[in-house]
Amino acid sequence: MKVKIINKSTNDTPEYSTLNSAGMDLRADLSSSITLKPFDRILIKTGLFLEIPQGFEAQVRPRSGLAIKKGITVLNSPGTIDADYRGEVGVILINLSKDDFIINNGERIAQLVFASFSKADFLNVDVLEETKRGAKGFGSSGVK
């Protein structure tokens, strides 16, 4: 899949770190450092603009290292970038730790994963097919 990109940031264009990486790191595009206080959230711009092929989306996901080491995650994870969006890619970060977190220009703040998707057409009905699980919700699938 080919994705057109405009990189207006001072950072390199994202790339896969290893042969089997599913995601590419997104980096903060900042003119000065920002301090993210505990439980604050902020939109961080990346300086990247994408043209994603029809039938695909880009998902913005947390970086596991930031999550476990610093308590920083992507608030609307995964964030979806639709194929018809042409604006700048932004990342909503939240600080779930008790410590301030300083975000510098070029900081790896999230990862970008591309995925295909299917569209659904709803069919209005009066009854749904019965299953063993039925309407039982969270934690009721019997998997232990």
Between CA 29 and CA 32, with CA 45 as vertex, the angle to 5 degrees is 45
Q: Does residue 126 carry a pLDDT above 90?
A: yes
Q: What's the domain count of the chain?
A: 1
Residue pair 72/101 in contact (Cβ under 8 Å)? The answer is: yes
Q: What is the mean pLDDT of residues 2-11?
A: 98
Q: Which distant-in-sequence residues (6+ apart) come within 8 Å of 32 by Cβ?
A: 105
- Tell me which residue of 110, 78, 99 sits closest to 36, measured CA to CA: 99
Q: What pTM was estimated for this model as a whole?
A: 0.89
Q: What residues make up the domain containing 64?
A: 4-9+22-116
**Which pLDDT band, with edges at 50, 70 and 90, does 77 fall under?**
very high
pLDDT digits (tens, 9 = 90+) for 28-52: 999 999 999 999 999 999 999 999 9
The number of beta carbons lying within 10 Å of the beta carbon of residue 115 is: 11
CATH number of the domain where residue 30 is located: 2.70.40.10
